[in-house]
Structures are given as structure tokens and as C-alpha cells.
Amino acid sequence: MVARILSLGVAAAIAANAAFGLNEREYYYTYDGFELPSQVTMPAKEVHPSLWFSADEAAALAKKKDADDVAAAYWKELAGSEFVLAELPPIPSLVDDKKVVHKYYGTLTQVAAYNAFLYQVSNDGKKQAYLDKAVEALKRGYAGPLYQLDPIVKGSAVDEIYQGVWAQSFAAAYDWVQPALSKEDDAIIRGHLVEHTQYMYENLWSWAGSPHNHLSKPAWGLGSMALCLSDHPDAEAWLERAVAASNANTRYFFSGDGVYREGSFYYLFSFINFVPFLYHYENAAGFDGFSVFQPAFEWPIVTRNGKGWTPNIEDSFIKPYPSQLVAGAFRDKPTSLHSSAPLSEVLQWNFHSTDYSAFDKSEAKTGYNYTGASWDYPKPLMEYLCYQPDIVATQPDVSPVQFLESGQSVFRSDWNYNDPNSRTLLFQAVAEADNHEHYDHLSFILQAENQLMSSDSGYTRASYGQAIRREWYLTAEAHNVVLANGKAPGDVAPNLAPISRSRLVSPFFSCEIKTARYADGGEHQRLIAMLEGDRFAVLDQVELPAAGQVEIVMHGGRASLDVVDDLYAWSYQDDDYGSAAGLRQWFWGKGFRTKEFSGELTYIKGDYAAFPYLKHIKNGTADAFGLTLLDPVAATEQGEAYAYERKSETAVVVRNAAGSEWIAANRTGAAIGESVWKTDALFSFFKVSDSGLLRAAAVEGEYVRISKDLEFQFNGPATIAVESGAAGLQLYYSVANPVQGIARVSGKVYRLDLSDSGLIVFQ
């Protein structure tokens, strides 16, 4: 990864933001995120309504409720909201409980927004009542203790992350009712909004010591208000500061390929603010910021599992991705996720191919929705506003295996939805940020058989401030990592992802190797290989500067565990997160002993429990080499005989099905083999089916003999996958440096010149 330097120079950027209160840390300016132009675009003049739609678009919005079942459901929830024509809550005082104060402002701003919207689109005889209620809420402004409370105090009732949402709700409400206001009411309301906007403007940079969501969320609220009040003489300055703070966040916490380094929870928590701001910027000022943010809208689809959920890595619970809220912004935008369809259609597919049942059940039980802002965010209103029924849903047609340069990789069997035969393994190795990060370098999580399996332990039980978050959830042992003397590996350098190599994608074998370093010296190298779109091999190598302890941590998720010899059988019950299923896991490694532990796991806020996990431990060693095989199965298959036999100290294993499958991990560099198979590769896989189909793969080998009639030899390491079939013999390859070699195929000799990656077909 090449570090990206801003045009005004790192030193100048640091000095500029330090003047506003951000810490002077160079690495905030050396990641490869993205940014909006610092030269802002202002509306030609202030027009209302304009933030979400224009006056001549209101009638179409009203008719949308009859377009399809989704729109009808959204309308029903919106029109039936508790905030519609609700009595305003009493103004709290400084001594009131913080929950009372927080819910007061969340309620007040939503009452204003819901009723103002219904005033614009209603035809039910209550139009005046909606207007009166919205105006009543807006005229209240921020009455109460907001300006007397410090938002940066831990657990503050008026935390700046809430104020960003409140500001956007008030901005939308004012935008919708402004044309109907008397001069007196307009002056009162506008005075309240200007006062709060100026307050955010003056305090924005001091609210966060780093450019995390406590800076960006109020910044996007400030930006929306600047666009709403664009005729104000300070509006351009407000928008400039909002964009500068937004850019500080997106440069550092987002990668250039869209990964949000704080995890899925805080991505969605930010999404609910930056999506309204981007719509407001485009609709009111004509500036397309969605294109700048496009990688961030594609990333949740790249990393989704078979149920459409984004992972609970870093400080996160599992989350759905409400991509329907932005599909309308990408109608004509090409995407790397499809060869011809626009991104809008893939975003719509993601929405229609997401299982919301676990989140609906959680909300019914706890009262909290999946946004992380249940008391503040007008979710049904946003869903109805943004959903576009006419956009068709189109599934991605690109490879289901995806490698992101920022460090996340996804080994996915297919793009199918709710298919028990689908598998998704996420390989995590993004450079650490300075907020909400976990010790999870080179960890992985697995979803298969419609169940969450080799899982990350998650965020916490309920809230960020809980001690158990620090004492367990963010620790290395709560993740599928390899520890050296109790510590997980980390970045090779700040803002640089662990080194990735030997990336190969083929129809039956895909792989990648990532390397990370330990702070006290030494490194961890992990190979992930997907076999036939069904099973996974995990090969771990550790090299240390001196003898110590190596621990390979393996979590199984919400499962019970049975151990028989080398087989670890995880069993999953039918629950809110998936179907009953099994995961058969084998481990081979010389000198290791295995111990079972218990640790807490949380997928959704409040639903936590302790489950078993394993550690394969090797003491007094400067190196370690271990192979894990993961085989997800349906619950009915869990008890079937399915054994692997360890053949040698190099962890060669053979499937007990007439010797038809051979898997080998080889650290020696010398050729190993059995029968006609032989290779010096680090990892290899050979299989012959009853029909005669041959499949073979080798990772970083110079010599591969597959049969007496098929042999490859190279003058440097090559990663290959070979398959025979009706179309001939297909050779998929990947090399780090150009490699020359020969292939002997059925008596013929072919000279090979390989570079990068590709496919060669031998007829």
C-alpha cells in the first residue's frame, strides 16, 4: 500500500487541524482513504424544500407508498410512528437523569421531522395538524440543558454523536415547513437553528482528539445545516469546516477500497449521518459526493456473508447493510461488483437478499434497532424517503472471492442468499486505527450452512464503557489469532496492511498468504485456502527470535464441542442466527497440545453467553507449524464417519475415502509425496474423482508431479491450480515475480513464461 499524502503537505495539514484541537499525529494523514474537495460548492440560493426533494417532487413521494410491498410497509410504519402528532415531552432540567435528557432531544427532533414530512405529502385531512405540530417542535429549538452540559464527558446525554442526528432531523423539518411559516415563526426557528449550528461550528474540532466518529458525525450534521441555511452569511464557513472534519475521518478511518476500520457497527453508525449529508449536498448544491464515497458503499457487499450480514469484527455487533437507502444515488454508476449492471441494482439486490429476522427479533425484545441510534434516528422516515421501488435487483456477477488491498479478503463459494451450501470466510488483516481496534490481525471468521461458525467474539455485552469489553472482547484471545508469548501480531508499520501474497482464484481452489509481525520480534504467516468451494485449510507458521510460547486460538461460535483424537466437532443449534449445523475441525502440528477454554461471545447487543474455544499450545519453541482443516456440514452429516489420517511429521493427511484426496503442508522445501503425487510446495491439494476428474493445487512450489503424465517444474515459486475436463487441462497460476518453467502433459513438453496471474489451457 502506498501512503497517500495530501496536496498541502503532511506538516501543513497537521498544523491546520492541531490548531483546532486534533492531536498532532502524522499517521492521520498517511493512510489511503478518500476525501471530498476542500473547495465547497454552495447552493445558488436558499430554496425550500430542497434537502431531500423539491416542491414538485412531493406528489410522487406521496404516491410511492402504493408502488410495492416494501414501500407500503415503510409507509405504514412511518404514518403509524409514535412521533406523529405526539405531545411534546416536557423540557428537562440540568439535574434530570441523562437518559431522560437524551430521549427528550431525540424525541423532539423526530416529532419535528415526521410531522413536517407528512405535511409535505399527506392527503388525509390532517395537513394543518402536521404543520402545527412540526412548527411547535421547531419553535422549541434546543430548549433544555443542552448548552449547559459537556458533550465530551463520558456518557453525556448530549454527546456530539447524537447532536449530528438531531441537527439533520431539524434541518429536514425546517426545510419542509419553511414555505408555510410566518415571518415571526421563521425568525424564531431560524434563530434556534443558527445558534446550534454556530455552536457545532465553534466546538467541532475540540470534541474529538482523533478524527473518529465523534468528529465526523456532528460534522455531517453541521454540513446539512449549512446547506439548509445557505443564505446565512456564515453558511459557507460552516460547510467548509464540516467538509474538513469529514475528510479528516474518511482519510484515516476509511481505506481507499472502502473498508471502515472501526468495524461494521461504527460504519453503520456513521452511515446514518453521511448518507443524509451526501443527499443534501447533491440536492441543494448539485455536488455529487456519492461518487467519492462509492467504495464505502461497495465494501459492505464485498464482505457480507450468505445472510447479507456484515461481520462483528472490531468493536461491532453483526449488522445488516441498508443499501436500499443509497441505491437511488447510483443509478448510472458502474461498479466493480458487476460486469454491466449499475451499482444501484447491486445495492438493491443486497437489500432484498438480507435476512433481517435476527434484528427484528432483537428489536421486539429490547426496543433497540440495528442502527445504534434507536432514540435519535428517524429510521422509518429515512427508509421511505430513500427507497426507490423501480430499481431492479441484480446479483453480483464477479468472482465471489475478493481480495482488498487494504487487507481484508473474502473466500466465498458463491453470491447466493440463504443457501446452506454457501460458504463465506473473511480473512482480516487491515492496518490498525487508533479507535475501536481489536487485537485481531490475521484472524478469520466463517459462515456456512446458514450458520455463524468460526466466529469473532464481538464487541461487548451492551455498551462501549463496560469493563468486560476491555478485559475480554478486544483482547487477542477473543479472536482466531496466533499468539507469541501472549501477544497477537500487528502492523509492519503504521497504516500499512500486513503483507499479502500468492493470491489465486480458480473454480475449485483459491488461496492467499498474509504475514504480520510481532512487536517483540518474529512473524506470523497464515495461509487460507478454500477447497472446492466447500472446505478451508488454515496453515500457520511462526518464527520467533528466541524460544517462547505459541498459541493458535480457535473459536467455534455459539456451539457445543466434542473432541475425538484430532477431530474437534462443533455443533450448532437452530437459533436466531441460523440453522442447526456442524463444523468438523482437524488440527495437526508437531509439539502442540490442545486445551479447551470458555469465553463470551456476542452477535447482537445484549445477547451474550459463554461458549467453548480452543488453544493449540507449543512451549519452548522459536518456531511453529500447524495445519487446521475446517469442514462445515449439515446437522444430519455431523456424526458420519469422516476421518483424516496423519501420514508424517509434515502434516500430510489423506482422506479415508479410498485414498482419493491428499492434503499436505510442507515446511521443508524438499519434495514430499505419496504414490504418483509429489511436490516441494508449501501447501498442496490433490483429488481424483470416480469420474476421472483431476484437481490439483500447489502453493509456492517449484516442482509439482500430479500423475505419471502430468508434471510442472519452475525456476521460482509458483502457485497453481490444475483441473482436467472436457475443455482440456486448465492451469491457473499466480507468481510474485516472473517465472519460467516447463509442463509435461501426456508426453508433450510446453515451455511456460508466467507473470502476475492468469489461465493457460492445454488442449
Taking the CA atoms of residue 748, residue 749, residue 753 and residue 759 in that order, the dihedral angle to the nearest 10 degrees is 20
3-class secondary structure, 36: coil
Say if 692 falls within a structural domain: yes
Cα 419 to chain centroid, rounded: 21
How deeply is 723 buried, as exposed, middle or buried, from its count of CB atoms within 10 A (0-12, 13-18, 19+)?
Answer: buried
Whether the per-residue pLDDT at 670 is higher than 60: the answer is: yes
Are residues 141 and 77 located together in one domain of the fold? yes
Least confident of 37-51, 479-493, 655-669: 655-669
Say if 391 falls within a structural domain: no
Are residues 600 and 748 located together in one domain of the fold? no
Of 386, 407, 431, which marks where a domain is finished? 386
| Total H helices, total E strands in the chain | 15, 29
Give the whole-angstrom CA distance, residue 208 versus residue 213: 8
Please enumerate in sequence order all residues whose Cβ is within 8 A of that of 533, keeping only pairs 6 or more positions apart, or say none.
413, 414, 423, 507, 508
Whether the per-residue pLDDT at 24 is higher than 60: the answer is: no
Give the whole-angstrom CA distance, residue 449 versus residue 418: 9
Please enumerate in sequence order all residues whose Cβ is within 8 A of that of 380, keeping only pairs 6 or more positions apart, or say none.
74, 77, 78, 81
The neighbour count for residue 450, using CB atoms within 10 Å, is 23
Do residues 685 and 710 lie in contact, with contact meaning Cβ atoms separated by under 8 Å? Answer: no
What single-letter DSSP state applies at residue 189? H
Do residues 635 and 561 lie in contact, with contact meaning Cβ atoms separated by under 8 Å? Answer: no
For 263, left (φ over 0), alpha (ψ -120 to 50), or beta?
left
pLDDT of residue 5: 31
CATH code for the domain of 132: 1.50.10.100
CATH code for the domain of 601: 2.70.98.70
- pLDDT tens across 393-412, in order? 999 999 999 999 999 999 99
pLDDT of residue 10: 43
- pLDDT tens across 356-366, in order? 999 999 999 99
- Mean model confidence pLDDT for the chain: 93
Task: Find the mean pLDDT for residues 721-731.
Answer: 89
Place of cell 416536557: 90
CATH code for the domain of 760: 2.60.220
Place of cell 508469548: 485
Whether the per-residue pLDDT at 3 is higher than 50: the answer is: no
Place of cell 473454480: 507
pLDDT confidence bin for 657, thresholds 50/70/90: low
Comparing CA positions, the residue from 570, 565, 582 lying closest to residue 612 is: 570
Of 642, 664, 691, which marks where a domain is finished? 642
Do residues 544 and 518 lie in contact, with contact meaning Cβ atoms separated by under 8 Å? Answer: yes
Please give the share of the chain, as a percent, with pLDDT higher than 90: 87
Place of cell 516441494: 680
Give the whole-angstrom CA distance, residue 389 versus residue 600: 41
Say if 425 falls within a structural domain: no
3-class secondary structure, 602: strand
pLDDT confidence bin for 12, thresholds 50/70/90: very low
pLDDT of residue 503: 98
What single-letter DSSP state applies at residue 393? P
Please enumerate in sequence order all residues whose Cβ is within 8 A of that of 539, keeping only pairs 6 or more positions apart, or say none.
526, 527, 529, 625, 626, 627, 628, 665, 682, 683
Say if 78 falls within a structural domain: yes
- pLDDT tens across 474-512, in order? 999 999 999 999 999 999 889 998 899 999 999 999 999
For 248, the grid coordinates are 479528516
User: Quick one: CA dihedral 616, 408, 500, 687, positive or negative?
Assistant: positive
Residue with the larger pLDDT of the pair 9 and 315: 315
Give the whole-angstrom CA distance, residue 408 versus residue 259: 8
pLDDT confidence bin for 564, thresholds 50/70/90: confident
Count of structural domains within the chain:
3
Are residues 662 and 609 located together in one domain of the fold? no
For 620, the grid coordinates are 519452548
For 58, the grid coordinates are 412531493
Length of the chain measured in residues:
763
Are residues 127 and 272 located together in one domain of the fold? yes
pLDDT confidence bin for 656, thresholds 50/70/90: low
Instruction: Tell me the CA distances in angstroms from 557 to 143, 305, 317, 378, one per residue in order.
Output: 47, 15, 14, 33
pLDDT of residue 707: 87
Task: Find the mean pLDDT for residues 305-334.
Answer: 98
Are residues 574 and 628 located together in one domain of the fold? yes
Residue with the larger pLDDT of the pair 25 and 455: 455
pLDDT of residue 651: 56
Give the whole-angstrom CA distance, residue 328 versus residue 348: 9
Are residues 613 and 684 located together in one domain of the fold? no
3-class secondary structure, 494: coil
Whether the per-residue pLDDT at 579 is higher than 90: the answer is: yes
Are residues 618 and 699 located together in one domain of the fold? no
Say if 321 falls within a structural domain: yes
Least confident of 16-20, 69-73, 96-100, 640-644: 16-20
Of 386, 409, 431, which marks where a domain is finished? 386
pLDDT of residue 11: 47
Range of the domain at 45: 31-386
Strand partners, 677: 674
Are residues 664 and 606 located together in one domain of the fold? no
Say if 392 falls within a structural domain: no
Give the whole-angstrom CA distance, residue 279 versus residue 289: 8
Say if 761 falls within a structural domain: yes
Whether the per-residue pLDDT at 644 is higher than 80: the answer is: no
Are residues 128 and 215 located together in one domain of the fold? yes
Do residues 729 and 757 lie in contact, with contact meaning Cβ atoms separated by under 8 Å? Answer: no
DSSP state letters, 493-511: BTTBPPEEEEEEE-SSEEE
b vs e for 460-491, b when ≥16 Cβ sit within 10 Å of the residue's Cβ?
bbbeeeeeebeebbbbbbbbbbbbbbeebbbb
Amino acid sitting at position 273:
N
Give the whole-angstrom CA distance, residue 455 versus residue 630: 13
Least confident of 42-51, 69-78, 97-106, 723-732: 723-732
Give the whole-angstrom CA distance, residue 575 versus residue 362: 12
Do residues 241 and 204 lie in contact, with contact meaning Cβ atoms separated by under 8 Å? Answer: yes
Give the whole-angstrom CA distance, residue 271 versus residue 500: 29
Are residues 563 and 664 located together in one domain of the fold? no
b vs e for 660-675, b when ≥16 Cβ sit within 10 Å of the residue's Cβ?
ebbbbbbeeeeebbee
Do residues 493 and 470 lie in contact, with contact meaning Cβ atoms separated by under 8 Å? Answer: no
What single-letter DSSP state applies at residue 624? E
Instruction: Tell me the CA distances in angstroms from 673 to 478, 566, 665, 741, one per residue in order.
Output: 37, 22, 11, 21
Whether the per-residue pLDDT at 21 is higher than 90: the answer is: no
For 642, left (φ over 0), alpha (ψ -120 to 50), or beta?
beta
Please give the share of the chain, as a percent, with pLDDT higher than 70: 94
Are residues 621 and 753 located together in one domain of the fold? no
pLDDT of residue 690: 65
Give the whole-angstrom CA distance, residue 182 versus residue 175: 14
- pLDDT tens across 235-266, in order? 999 999 999 999 999 999 999 999 999 999 99
pLDDT of residue 674: 79
3-class secondary structure, 108: helix
Task: Find the mean pLDDT for residues 559-571.
Answer: 92
Say if 458 falls within a structural domain: yes
Whether the per-residue pLDDT at 673 is higher than 90: the answer is: no
Whether the per-residue pLDDT at 188 is higher than 70: the answer is: yes
Are residues 605 and 731 located together in one domain of the fold? no
How deeply is 288 buried, as exposed, middle or buried, from its count of CB atoms within 10 A (0-12, 13-18, 19+)?
Answer: middle
b vs e for 684-714, b when ≥16 Cβ sit within 10 Å of the residue's Cβ?
bbbbbeeeeebbbbbbbbbbbbbeeebbbbb
The neighbour count for residue 237, using CB atoms within 10 Å, is 14
Amino acid sitting at position 402:
Q
Comparing CA positions, the residue from 53, 746, 164, 675 lying closest to residue 388 is: 53
pLDDT confidence bin for 687, thresholds 50/70/90: confident
Global pTM?
0.95
